[in-house]
Structure 1
Amino acid sequence: MTGRFSVVGIGPGDPDLVTIKAARMIGDAAVVAYHAGVRKESHARRIAADLIPATAVEEELRYPVTTGTTDHPGGYVGAMAEFYESCAVRLAAHLDAGRDVVLLAEGDPLFYGSSMYLHDRFKEVYETEVVPGVPAFAAATAAIAGSSGPLVRQTDVLTVLPGTLPEPELARRLADTEAAVIMKLGRTFPAVRSALAQAGRLEGAWYVERASQADERWLPVADVDADSVPYFSLIVVPGDTAHRPSADRLRARDPQPAAVEVHEQGAAELLVVGLGPGPEDWLTPEASAALADVDHVVGYGPYVARVPQRPGLTRHASGNTVEVDRARAALELAKAGERVAVVSGGDAGVFGMAAAVFEAAEDPAYAGVAIRVLPGVSAVQAVAARAGAPIGADFAVMSLSDRLKPWHVVERRLRAVAEADLVLAIYNPASRSRTEQVATAQRVLLEHRKPDTVVVVGRDVGRAEESLTVTTLAELDPATIDMSCLLIVGAESTRVSAAGVWTPRFVR
């Protein structure tokens, strides 16, 4: 009979924070394993030292490398994979001999813990258990409670972030949450502090090192010497700081006008900005300059996420089906004198936010708000350019979504385009809830077009995962189409040559 493998969380450092269950399991263990740094005493063993029975076999799992370089042929990843595999072999020998193994894990085992790599290897082979522990951020939050108040309250959202994220991404996520915990500091600290400043969250952010330990200390992040930051440190950004008034920023995550604290000072111009299909190179200089000058960005979450965070910028992200509500929120801000940009993917005027803004602006309440639309590279342009020149002659653009128009209207327009022999660009061809429209559109088009009509399928064009497929109307597989795709259905004259897909400008 094989032994049982248990991963036991022992908290952040104070032995008094080890749970009763964890203490019992350590005291009953035949084998106690723990990780240790390259040239350091095991912190995990130090915490649990008084709980390990004298009869237990101890297995020290010493890392071959933690940071820096290694001469391993597989680099850092290869060295660590080999290390975990060797650890698994050592501990498996005990388990196969029927001995129960307890692996000590600092903090909580499944919260950025090294123990997960061994648990992953053993969970399908041996009986396993994970005992939760007090995570370091809970101890850190308790340490600063007298100075900062609660971490989160009521509907605050807490985001846990690794400091190893790219600085712009870290800044964006910090701006989009009420409360945050930032782990993995050390050498990342300067970039993390910069990201906090860009997000307008440096004020009120607390640095805590060695939480719950005898040499614990905490101070405002702004006051920390970057050269003194050890591994056992983290940053806590309490949720209350998101709502604290500040002279240089306005915090309002919910884009509803009632949540925005603004002061009437005469309406400002509202910008509607097309961000292009994705790559930064496809954002126009005009759009880039405009986004660098506004105080608020309003839009669908993934599009707002593409705007770099910076000091003084407030982001208002919302879902994909509230376009008019989003437009009203932006108009309210502009009406109150705030500099606002509504962002949209591709070109804002092509199935984007421009029409929703003008729809909302029909309300006489916004008569004093001027609206300016800044064009962007549209998805159809991007896909066409990748394919060659399929829209080099007359073409039509349609959306297969029937959310804002009935399907019979979509089908009637498909027939009209097909009968007119126009190249057709199809947006929104499918979604999780709309799986039949592509097949129906294919059937309708085949009633008027030849089976060998050229079809271009562009997926995620402009992004790292982009693909381009050239097929025919008859061979198009609707099951492969989703919202990441844009289709271009050629006219009778559209050709495929060695250079690419193109439609002649002339008609004979």
Structure 2
Amino acid sequence: MTGRFHGVGVGPGDPELITLKAARLIASADVVAYHAGRGKESNARRIAASLIPDTAVEERLTYPVTTGATDHPGGYTGALADFYEESAARLAAHLEAGRDVVLLSEGDPLFYGSYMYMHDRLSERYETQIVPGVPAFAAAAAAAAAPLSRQTDVLTVLPGTLPEPELARRLADTDAAVVMKLGRTFPAVRRALEAAGRLDHAVYVERASMEGERRLPVAEVDPSTVPYFSLIIVTGDSRNGARSRRPGEPAEARTVTGPTAASAAPAESAAAGTTGPTGSTTPAAELLVVGLGPGPDAWLTPEASAALAEVDHVVGYGPYVDRVPQRPGLTRHASGNTVEIERARLALELAARGERVAVVSGGDAGVFGMATAVFEAAEDPDLRHVPVRVLPGVSAVQAVAARAGAPVGGDFAVVSLSDRLKPWDVVERRLRAVAEADMALAVYNPASRSRTEQIATARRVLLEHRPPETVVVVGRGVGRPGESLTVTTLGDLDPATIDMRCLLIVGASGTRVSASGRVWTPRWVKP
């Protein structure tokens, strides 16, 4: 019989926080294993030292590298992969011999722990049991006597190794947060907290539950003194007030995020603006509708970038809001993909109260974007007085066309295959009209998870009026990592290869492919 494999959490540092079950398994283990850095004591072993029996075989699994350089041909990742394979083989040898193995893990085995790499390699081959442990952030919250989250607060756990802009965005978008893996990352984490408006409620805890425990406001921490065994907790909004992130603003004036908050503070009608609690009148601010372009920052116009640097609120579909860098004073209102009017109304109501607001949209906001939704919502008599300005952006069709060459160099049409806002028979009539007019055609929204047949139907409709040799350009994720561009024909186009990230350009009869592979449509049309 083989031995049993146990992943045992020993808690954050104080031996008295080891669970009774963990203590029993450690005390009866045939083999006790633990990870350690070169020349360093294993913190997990130190915590459990008094429980390890004299009869137990100890397996010290020493990392070949932690933060330094390595000459391994696979670099840091390759060195660790080999290390985990070798470590698993050492433990497997004991298990094959019938010995029970306890692998100690600081905190909890399944929370940022090295145990998981052994679990991946051994759990399917040997009987495995996992014993949870008190995670470090729970001990840190207790040490700081700061409740992390209450009621409906959302708690997000973040590694400090995230890119600074991404960390700031995530900190701004959650109610409560824990930031792990500090050490050398602390300066960037502090800047991200400040950009997210969370610095005032961030507490630094070092060596929670251990000897030398220290806690103080993040703003007072000397970065040169921050060890690996430290983390930051940001208490939830039910304690600190709504997330306006605007220093000095009274709690009663702070806005509620999300499109469902649109009715929380209805705008007053007429150009007089919104009446405040003291009877003063706040004029409506201009609402900006901003096209972000298809993806890369280089395609964001200077005008749009300058506008986003000045507003206090950004409203939009989640992935587009994510593209706006977080900074102090910015409140983000992200929502799903099918609530355009609710989003627009929220933005208009914020602007009606005098808030500086930008509604963001991918590509150009006026091409199947948020601009029309804003103008539709602005038909409400209570919101007509809000001035709206649309800032153009690079559209997806422009991006794909530029990658291909000049397939829309002559007359062209743009059609969306989505039938969410119009009947499919209308789409078909428009496809036939464009095909009969012999214009190049840009096809937006060719497919989605729920719409898989439209592109096949559109291809059939177009082939009724266009020859199979008609040039087709398929751009997928153009401007983003992993982008691709395929030049094919209408006859050879495989609808099964088209997904929601694609934009198609179907050429006119004159569209051609040059010897270099560039697609272009002449400006002239032969009589």
State TM-score, norm by structure 1: 0.97
Q: What SS does the corresponding residue of 2:282 show, helix, strand or coil?
A: coil
Task: State the shift of 1:260 in Å.
Answer: 6.7
- Cα gap change, 1:290 to 1:103, in 2 (>3 Å): same
Task: State the shift of 1:464 in Å.
Answer: 1.6
Equivalent of residue 337 in structure 2, options 313, 320, 325: 320
| Structure 2 residue 252 is the aligned partner of structure 1 residue 253 | no
CA contact (8 A) 1:291 1:307 kept: yes
* C-alpha distance in 1 between matches for 2:183 and 2:264: 37
Residue of structure 2 in register with 1:193 after alignment:
190
Q: 5 Å matches for 1:276-291?
A: 276-291=293-308
| Structure 2 residue 203 is the aligned partner of structure 1 residue 206 | yes
* C-alpha distance in 1 between matches for 2:420 and 2:487: 28
Q: What SS does the corresponding residue of 2:199 show, helix, strand or coil?
A: coil
Q: What SS does the corresponding residue of 1:78 show, helix, strand or coil?
A: helix
* C-alpha distance in 1 between matches for 2:515 and 2:130: 59
Equivalent of residue 156 in structure 2, options 148, 155, 159: 159
| Structure 2 residue 260 is the aligned partner of structure 1 residue 243 | no
Q: 5 Å matches for 1:266-305?
A: 266-305=283-322
* 1:65-115 alpha-carbon deviations (Å, 9 max, x no partner): 211222333322222222222211211111111111110000111111011
| Structure 2 residue 145 is the aligned partner of structure 1 residue 140 | no
* C-alpha distance in 2 between matches for 1:184 and 1:90: 28
Task: State the shift of 1:51 in Å.
Answer: 1.5
* 1:395-427 alpha-carbon deviations (Å, 9 max, x no partner): 110110011111111111111111111111011
* C-alpha distance in 1 between matches for 2:230 and 2:407: 56
* 1:452-483 alpha-carbon deviations (Å, 9 max, x no partner): 11111000000121000011111111111111
Q: 5 Å matches for 1:70-469?
A: 70-145=70-145, 148=146, 150-240=147-237, 241=240, 243=242, 247-248=247-248, 252-255=256-259, 256-258=261-263, 265-469=282-486
* C-alpha distance in 1 between matches for 2:164 and 2:176: 18
* C-alpha distance in 2 between matches for 1:24 and 1:455: 68
Task: State the shift of 1:288 in Å.
Answer: 0.5
Structure 1: stretches of 5+ with no match in the other structure:
none
Equivalent residue letter for 1:346: G
CA contact (8 A) 2:178 2:231 kept: yes
CA contact (8 A) 2:34 2:42 kept: yes
Equivalent of residue 522 in structure 2, options 498, 501, 504: 504
CA contact (8 A) 1:176 1:253 kept: no
CA contact (8 A) 1:273 1:341 kept: yes
Q: What SS does the corresponding residue of 1:488 show, helix, strand or coil?
A: strand
Task: State the shift of 1:498 in Å.
Answer: 2.1
* C-alpha distance in 2 between matches for 1:474 and 1:313: 50
Q: CA RMSD in A?
A: 1.6
Equivalent residue letter for 2:37: G
CA contact (8 A) 1:251 1:314 kept: no
Residue of structure 1 in register with 2:2 after alignment:
2
Residue of structure 2 in register with 1:54 after alignment:
54
* 1:217-257 alpha-carbon deviations (Å, 9 max, x no partner): 21111111111111110000111336378535656432423
* C-alpha distance in 2 between matches for 1:296 and 1:493: 47
Task: State the shift of 1:21 in Å.
Answer: 1.6
Deviates more, 1:136-145 or 1:271-280: 136-145
- Cα gap change, 1:251 to 1:362, in 2 (>3 Å): closer
Q: What SS does the corresponding residue of 1:182 show, helix, strand or coil?
A: strand
* C-alpha distance in 1 between matches for 2:14 and 2:255: 37
* 1:41-80 alpha-carbon deviations (Å, 9 max, x no partner): 1110111112212211111112222112223333222222
| Structure 2 residue 40 is the aligned partner of structure 1 residue 22 | no
Equivalent residue letter for 1:217: R
CA contact (8 A) 1:269 1:369 kept: yes
Equivalent residue letter for 2:234: V
Equivalent residue letter for 2:520: W
Task: State the shift of 1:26 in Å.
Answer: 1.2
* 1:287-324 alpha-carbon deviations (Å, 9 max, x no partner): 00111111111100000000000111111111100001
* C-alpha distance in 2 between matches for 1:308 and 1:248: 22
| Structure 2 residue 484 is the aligned partner of structure 1 residue 479 | no
* C-alpha distance in 1 between matches for 2:242 and 2:379: 32
Q: Aligned pairs, how many?
A: 505
Structure 2: stretches of 5+ with no match in the other structure:
267-273
Task: State the shift of 1:258 in Å.
Answer: 4.6
* C-alpha distance in 1 between matches for 2:366 and 2:381: 22
Task: State the shift of 1:385 in Å.
Answer: 0.4
* C-alpha distance in 1 between matches for 2:504 and 2:243: 48
* 1:123-182 alpha-carbon deviations (Å, 9 max, x no partner): 22222222211111111111122xx3x211121111111000110110011001111100
* C-alpha distance in 2 between matches for 1:260 and 1:281: 37
Q: What SS does the corresponding residue of 2:108 show, helix, strand or coil?
A: coil
Deviates more, 1:191-200 or 1:8-17: 8-17
* C-alpha distance in 2 between matches for 1:338 and 1:400: 36
